[in-house]
Structure 1
């Protein structure tokens, strides 16, 4: 689970700046007129850093610190972590603090969103991503947002129809072959959170080719070794990536890339 969580974290870190404006507007209902990145070194002994930390001024003229956390695991201690953040952020910036936890897991989270004792009362906003209409993300012109649609609520659409629309929209919004490859890789990783890998794999070659040419996505949606080799050869000849980068892009091992490279040398 630890390795999977790190994969999900990597995706959100890669996409976060492109996603945040729309996320604020459509999900958190915050319309910012000013947004300033804040340093995330607010903690002294804590291992984790805030996923998103910004100073926001909204259309009402209110200025506050916005903290957003993306959470995969249903964490019983989350309310205490958020309370700790609240105290540290308030002390550091002397501004109101708005906190949101966006839960990415498939089930309804059971973790507490409020804490009450004889001496204090605290709460944060907990948003369940699987309750969000996936069409919100399909309407975006940014592939970083579109790919997140796989975590949303398909609202009565069949899984096959929803995935086909997401694939089509990624193809429409990604600029070039390399970004397209990147977002399909992200889609495959995120599908694991919803146990949808089988549906992606079962999308036939014909149905995929309506949206994406086979040559443009051989590794992840067709998964045939000959096409993987073809794509690795293309990346090797391009000459702008390391062995590890090519392995990551193509979804193969570094050893696989080295073997292809050696074959190219041997056949010259």
Structure 2
């Protein structure tokens, strides 16, 4: 996959999920206690090559009001510091407010970009946050699937990658409101997982699940969902149990059945 196509895929995911995850990022990752906020929409493209990824006007719980500027960065861009100071000068001039800037670095590599300029009459800096150093459970514990999917970019600590991936898949199943959204989030997870260079085992697990959970291609699932028949659901669940790609909890959430129902089907497969 070309780096440009790859970057476009990541950009698409952040645009799709940004509205849901912004406040969580601000509070959980940047540790800003928000009293109230509003999204700021501003057209700076006449002046700049590209508009800011996210711009918020925030009043924190200490009563301070400021602009929060977020950039989501995949590439370790050598000139990033110059782009950030350009944003800042234009935003300060336009809004006459303090501007706080953060670059959220998505790759698991160690960035070498400069974050500071010190010259005669000028001291400038922005904060660089590596998501690969943020505890993945901050995202995993969310009730919003749009947020949970970003757990794969976090730091797994002492948790084995295979176990962390399974936890994320389970949580996505629990928090996605319907099968269509679950499929969308699993596709997002598959793409974001590339940033962590996950082991072939984990990639295979994600491949298996995204292959099966597509209602437009799964005849048995369609049969169970459209007819609402217990028999149709049983046949579909038996197929998943035989292939061993979904946990009991995932099957319970996805097919809207009881755990006892799945366990009974498991027993029917025993010799």
Q: TM-score category by the smaller chain?
A: 0.7 to 0.9
Larger radius of gyration: 2
Alignment match of 1:223 (pick from 193, 198, 211): 211
Alignment match of 1:63 (pick from 62, 65, 81): 65
Alignment match of 2:49 (pick from 44, 47, 50): 47
Q: CA deviation at 1:199?
A: 3.1
- Determine the C-alpha separation between the residues in 2 that align with 1:99 and 1:2: 25
TM score, norm. by length of structure 1: 0.77
- Determine the C-alpha separation between the residues in 1 that align with 2:216 and 2:42: 40
Q: Name the SS of the counterpart of 2:36 in structure 1.
A: strand
**What is the match of residue 4 of structure 2?**
2
- The 5 A counterparts of 1:97-108 are 97-108=99-110
Alignment match of 1:155 (pick from 149, 154, 157): 157
- Determine the C-alpha separation between the residues in 2 that align with 1:82 and 1:168: 38
Aligned CA-pair RMSD:
2.5
**What is the match of residue 188 of structure 1?**
190
Q: CA deviation at 1:41?
A: 1.1
Alignment match of 1:110 (pick from 84, 105, 112): 112
Q: Name the SS of the counterpart of 1:110 in structure 2.
A: coil
Q: CA deviation at 1:42?
A: 2.8
- Determine the C-alpha separation between the residues in 2 that align with 1:199 and 1:66: 39
Asked if the contact 2:41/2:55 (under 8 Å) is kept, the reply is yes
Gaps of 5+ in 2: 227-271
- Determine the C-alpha separation between the residues in 1 that align with 2:104 and 2:58: 18
Alignment match of 2:82 (pick from 80, 83, 99): 80
Asked if the contact 2:80/2:114 (under 8 Å) is kept, the reply is yes
Q: Deviations over 1:195-224 (max 9, x none)?
A: 227233333xxxx8xxxxxxxxxx762637
**What is the match of residue 33 of structure 1?**
35
Distance 1:50 1:199, change over 3 A: farther
**What is the match of residue 252 of structure 2?**
none
Q: Name the SS of the counterpart of 2:102 in structure 1.
A: strand
Asked if the contact 2:187/2:210 (under 8 Å) is kept, the reply is no
- Determine the C-alpha separation between the residues in 2 that align with 1:104 and 1:164: 21
Distance 1:99 1:222, change over 3 A: closer
Alignment match of 1:201 (pick from 199, 203, 211): 203
- Determine the C-alpha separation between the residues in 1 that align with 2:38 and 2:178: 31
- Determine the C-alpha separation between the residues in 1 that align with 2:202 and 2:184: 16
Distance 1:201 1:28, change over 3 A: closer
Q: CA deviation at 1:80?
A: 0.3
Count the aligned residue pairs.
222
Gaps of 5+ in 1: 209-218, 239-268
TM score, norm. by length of structure 2: 0.76
Q: Name the SS of the counterpart of 1:223 in structure 2.
A: helix
Asked if the contact 1:68/1:99 (under 8 Å) is kept, the reply is yes
